[in-house]
Chain A
Amino acid sequence: MKGRYDDENLKWIPILIIAVYLSPFLLKSATFSYKYYLYILNMAGIYMILTVGLDLLSGFTGLMSLGHAAFLAIGAYTSAILVDQAGLPFELSLIITPVIVGLCGLMIGFPALRIEGMYLGLTTMGFGFIVKRLIIAFRDWTGGSAGLQVSKATLFGFTISNDWNNYFMIYTFAIIAIIVARRIVKSKLGRVFMAIRDSEQAAQASGINIAKYKMLSFFISGMFAGFAGVLFAHTNHFISTDHFDILLSVYFIVMVLVGGVGSIYGAVLGTLFIVLMENMFIPLFKDTLTQYMHLEAGDFQAFIFGLIMLLFIIFQPMGLYGMWLKMRIYWKLFPFNPRKRFT
């Protein structure tokens, strides 16, 4: 009987951790431009924390959000102001800022009790515009449209000064975020979220207060985004409204979708996939294609991501994680013509 409930797949965690901490060393020995790759990986790590939280909200609870770039922005600016202007230690900001952003999420959660689907997407997008305006309006604190310089992170007296150090800090937190998200998903909370997504009636009949848990989902998702925001501000050292464009919110959704909605590892995979695509593969053939198609560089990216999302929705609705699961079944059954089992 013992532990029957704990079907949680923990055996991957140690492998994941070793791989994560080993890869910068491998990169360093493999290529001279490892610093560039590290920078990209750091970006992916920060986004990962956010998309895992977004997946909890959109994938598990079924509440669409196009406002997560704004949550990231609030996190980044709040931390920058708290640390650089109010003189709070970075460690404290790591705790306070996510709570503040979580509360912002709660605020957005209110309309979510009444509206659904695409309309909720539009409302949260509107929230994104408002936040952007507010950042420009409060230029005394935020530097307005000129942007804001942010100090380096210091963790327990140790200054995180370069991308090498950033990598270890970001991925330590990313791993924690993933584990926390997995715990949430595999516990009572995860069941409640999925029940709200799939059948509000069943949820209510089981004694679940839907309003309460929708708000909680927004709060938790906001916390993850706020956490990512803190890391973003203090590893990028410069933030401006351009970093938190509305399009970024859409990319976050694409990351979750490509990875596989409703799976934490899926969100992680999707984020890695999209960030690597954006920074390593698209640049390879961007020049030639923009020449033929008369597109601006930015438009080109949007075009490619739109295409990727479409292809995934049509051909692989379960996302990258779903592909992996199928592959696993395939190898498990290998010699016995497993092909028929998943077409």
Chain B
Amino acid sequence: MDNLKIQNLHMNFSGVKALDDVSFKVQKGEVFSLIGPNGSGKSTLFNCINGFCIPQQGSIKFENVDLLKIKPHETVKHGISRTFQNLQNVPYMTLLDNVLLGAHRRLSMTDTFNRWISQKEREREEAMALEVLDFLGIANFEKKYLSGQPYGIQKLVEIARALICKPKMILMDEPAAGMNDQETLEIAKIISEIRDILGITVLVVEHDMNLVMSISDRICVLDSGKILAMGKPVEVKNHPEVIKVFLGDEAHA
């Protein structure tokens, strides 16, 4: 069953073609990876799905909802949450509060003044946040302020914030960027568990080839806004165009 359906997407930034006729479908319960060299439009694609960018042409449908018609803050309501390439956190808030930010929609305004009325609601969300932190293996840190925490933990907190929204699909923009090998393995495990245990469809942008090859059901390769190849990891790995682009990339570096 199709979950996300992207058709003929065109996105121009004053002449720069960030996305050029991109179409693909993501199935429910899939781990779908987007790879490609720097500036190939991966984050832009996420921003289009998320409503931060409005493409000039094309359509994005998620479970029959037209995502181009809704505002960025409403995507969560339709079951899509995301993490960012650069850390997007609130440093002067505790880990727990950062995670609870994602539960925003389920907490009512009475939280501010009628603590007795919203006590149950609060405790429920708090328990949930702790559960999510536990799932990611960073429980016991929940009272700490985020500002002093290592990069790896801050990245995980973003994932936690995205998970507590109870999404149907999660978009992860380079979850393993800047992490060491150990942490990257951890991320791979987490991504698989998000799909297997929580049943969430995962769309992930990643540069780490080993990670991508090991976790993905399907991979889509973008190059300067165009889809170069798409398919199972083995197919993509042996695709001549992909080898050219990526080897060329390495030759430059």
A-B contact pairs, 26 of them (CB 8 A): A1-B123, A4-B126, A184-B112, A188-B107, A188-B112, A189-B111, A194-B93, A197-B90, A198-B90, A198-B91, A199-B89, A199-B90, A201-B52, A201-B84, A202-B90, A203-B73, A204-B72, A205-B81, A205-B84, A206-B73, A206-B101, A206-B102, A206-B104, A206-B105, A207-B165, A209-B73
- Interface positions, chain B 84-124, Cβ under 8 Å from A, are 84, 88-94, 96-97, 100-102, 104-105, 107, 109, 111-113, 115, 122-123
- Interface positions, chain A 160-192, Cβ under 8 Å from B, are 180, 183-184, 187-189, 191-192
Q: Please, which residues of chain B bring their CB within 8 A of the CB of A204?
A: 51-52, 72-73
A204 CB to closest chain B CB (Å) equals 4
Q: Is the CB of A206 within 8 A of B111?
A: no
Q: Please, which residues of chain B bring their CB within 8 A of the CB of A7?
A: 94, 143
- Asked if B249 is at the interface (CB within 8 A of a chain A CB), the reply is no
B51 CB to closest chain A CB (Å) equals 8
Q: Is the CB of A206 within 8 A of B90?
A: no
B186 CB to closest chain A CB (Å) equals 22
Q: In the complex, how many residues of chain A place their beta carbon closer than 8 angstroms to a beta carbon of chain B? A: 30
Closest A residue, CB atoms, query B127: A1
- Asked if A94 is at the interface (CB within 8 A of a chain B CB), the reply is no
- Asked if A5 is at the interface (CB within 8 A of a chain B CB), the reply is yes
Q: Is the CB of B109 within 8 A of A188?
A: yes
Please classify the interface of chain A as helix (H, G, I), strand (E, B), loop, or mixed, using the class held by over half of its residues.
helix
Q: Is the CB of B90 within 8 A of A207?
A: no
Query: Which one of A4, A5, A202, A209 contacts B89 once the chains associate, using CB atoms below 8 Å?
Result: A202
Q: Is the CB of B90 within 8 A of A195?
A: yes
Q: Please, which residues of chain A bring their CB within 8 A of the CB of B84?
A: 201-202, 205
Q: Please, which residues of chain A bring their CB within 8 A of the CB of B88?
A: 199, 201-202, 205
B55 CB to closest chain A CB (Å) equals 18
- Asked if A2 is at the interface (CB within 8 A of a chain B CB), the reply is yes
- Asked if A277 is at the interface (CB within 8 A of a chain B CB), the reply is no
Closest B residue, CB atoms, query A209: B73
1/0 contact trace for A1-29 toward B, CB 8 Å? 11011110000000000000000000000
- Asked if A262 is at the interface (CB within 8 A of a chain B CB), the reply is yes
Q: Which residues of B contact A (CB under 8 A)?
A: 50-52, 71-77, 81-82, 84, 88-94, 96-97, 100-102, 104-105, 107, 109, 111-113, 115, 122-123, 126-127, 143, 158, 161-162, 165
Q: Assuming A202-B90, A206-B165, is B104 touching A5 (CB within 8 A)? A: no
Query: Which one of B91, B113, B122, B165 contacts A5 once the chains associate, using CB atoms below 8 Å?
Result: B122
1/0 contact trace for A201-225 toward B, CB 8 Å? 1111111111000000000000000
Alpha-carbon distance between A181 and B190 when the two chains are bound, in angstroms: 39
B139 CB to closest chain A CB (Å) equals 12
Q: Assuming A184-B112, A199-B88, is B162 touching A205 (CB within 8 A)? A: yes
Q: Among the interface residues A188, A205, A206, which one has the most CB atoms of the partner chain B within 10 A?
A: A205
Q: Please, which residues of chain A bring their CB within 8 A of the CB of B72?
A: 204-205
Q: Among the interface residues A202, A203, A209, A210, which one has the most CB atoms of the partner chain B within 10 A?
A: A202
Q: Is the CB of A195 within 8 A of B122?
A: no
Query: Which one of B50, B93, B96, B100 contacts A205 once the chains associate, using CB atoms below 8 Å?
Result: B50
Q: Please, which residues of chain B bring their CB within 8 A of the CB of A184?
A: 112
Q: Among the interface residues B73, B94, B127, which one has the most CB atoms of the partner chain A within 10 A?
A: B73
B155 CB to closest chain A CB (Å) equals 13
Alpha-carbon distance between A262 and B90 when the two chains are bound, in angstroms: 12
Closest B residue, CB atoms, query A262: B92
A32 CB to closest chain B CB (Å) equals 44
Alpha-carbon distance between A183 and B77 when the two chains are bound, in angstroms: 27
Q: Is the CB of B123 within 8 A of A5?
A: yes
B244 CB to closest chain A CB (Å) equals 34
Closest A residue, CB atoms, query B74: A207
Q: Is the CB of A189 within 8 A of B104?
A: no
A55 CB to closest chain B CB (Å) equals 13
Q: Please, which residues of chain A bring their CB within 8 A of the CB of B107?
A: 188
Q: Is the CB of A5 within 8 A of B96?
A: yes
Q: Please, which residues of chain B bring their CB within 8 A of the CB of A183?
A: 112-113, 115
Q: Please, which residues of chain B bring their CB within 8 A of the CB of A4?
A: 126
B144 CB to closest chain A CB (Å) equals 12
B116 CB to closest chain A CB (Å) equals 12
A317 CB to closest chain B CB (Å) equals 12
Q: Is the CB of A205 within 8 A of B126?
A: no
Q: Please, which residues of chain B bring their CB within 8 A of the CB of A207?
A: 73-74, 76-77, 104-105, 165
Q: Please, which residues of chain B bring their CB within 8 A of the CB of A189?
A: 109, 111-112
B220 CB to closest chain A CB (Å) equals 22
